[in-house]
Structure 1
């Protein structure tokens, strides 16, 4: 069965929307300006800024107004409790499974936080497995995490596809391994010259439909 490796944040789940909601609640609870949500989201950079660096920046900005423990609690949750399951994503995964793909989630991040998102979104029942960078000790685009994903589901890495929204973590990772990939653009324009995805799709559902209709 062919292997399909899937990114989690902003590919299978709308991580940024969930985190933005959590930040908005945090600001309201601590009587901080609602407009600071934009600043936090910029610092966070879609989750790619290290949590310790986000914590340092937030503690500096909100010093004297918010306990450091409250900032850490927000970042530890990371909006995982606010992820909204998407029927369209689940339906697309059902189609991929019916088409014969072995699906495995490959995600960077904290194990507890990422697994909470997977469970809340109901993805655990729709994929054959998942690997989280904290648990395996390697982060995308390190080839080792993709090898770990293939090993986790017992499917050869050769011939696999990778679907994800990060040019650096997902598409560069695929390129380094000679694998085919679909970049989930989420409305952005591709701006890398040294490597390119095999295909570009607006969202995950479109990516799956493209894969099923023309791959193989």
Structure 2
């Protein structure tokens, strides 16, 4: 039986923060916004959760922009996949995992055009068996159903077990646990621990996707 590993996209496989910071710098320059505005945009993103339509409503109203929030959001979704990148060590680790016979899937919240663009532009589409995007499937993490759907696309089911690897304790760790998966929390040391989380503890905590793959290959 081929084991299953499901990975989150933003903040796990893809350095979403670096891509967002680059996008925000471009956006501020294009709209003649100052450094304080750029700081506001980055901080507002850090405190935002869920779809980005509300974020762009806030940005438009705060800075008095003429373009509609939907138009700003569409521009963002076109540009972000071009800025997305993965760590070379993480891509190499996925190749090793696949070479060892694992099924690999991506489970991500977000709009289909934006997330699929990232998966394809970074080369992840060639390294995984399947993916599921909430905007396409109509169900979001941490709902267990999205994990089941991606497992099916990988040619298996969660009754056979598997792993979920991601940086979000609610979406990836608690969601994966609820779906019957073992979990690995990606928690780089540069980020403080979220003390308010009271859900199930991850089986392992690591600093990178490459570290997570090392755990999978060692522990399975």
Q: Same fold (TM over 0.5)?
A: yes
Change (3 A) 1:190 1:44: closer
- In structure 1, the residue matched to 2:73 is 72
- In structure 2, the residue matched to 1:61 is 62
**SS of 1:4 mapped into structure 2:** strand
Change (3 A) 1:66 1:27: farther
C-alpha contact (below 8 Å) 1:86/1:121 kept by paired residues: no
- In structure 2, the residue matched to 1:100 is 101
- In structure 1, the residue matched to 2:33 is 32
Count of aligned pairs between the two proteins: 214
Q: How far apart in 1 are the matches of 2:29 and 2:179? A: 45
**SS of 1:130 mapped into structure 2:** strand
Deviation of 1:190 after TM superposition, in Å, equals 5.2
C-alpha contact (below 8 Å) 1:182/1:199 kept by paired residues: yes
Q: How far apart in 2 are the matches of 1:88 and 1:195? A: 29
Change (3 A) 1:47 1:117: farther
TM-score, normalised on structure 2? 0.90
- Aligned residue runs from structure 1 range 48-197, under 5 A: 48-63=49-64, 65-68=65-68, 71-77=72-78, 79-157=80-158, 158-187=160-189, 188=191, 189=193, 191=195, 192-197=197-202
Gap runs ≥5 in structure 1: none
Gap runs ≥5 in structure 2: none
Q: Which moved more, 1:102-111 or 1:76-85?
A: 76-85
Q: How far apart in 2 are the matches of 1:75 and 1:165? A: 22
Q: Which moved more, 1:121-130 or 1:28-37?
A: 28-37
- In structure 2, the residue matched to 1:18 is 19
C-alpha contact (below 8 Å) 2:4/2:103 kept by paired residues: yes
C-alpha contact (below 8 Å) 2:9/2:108 kept by paired residues: yes
Runs of 4+ residues deviating >4 angstroms: none
TM-score, normalised on structure 1? 0.92
Q: How far apart in 2 are the matches of 1:46 and 1:85? A: 23
Change (3 A) 1:202 1:46: farther
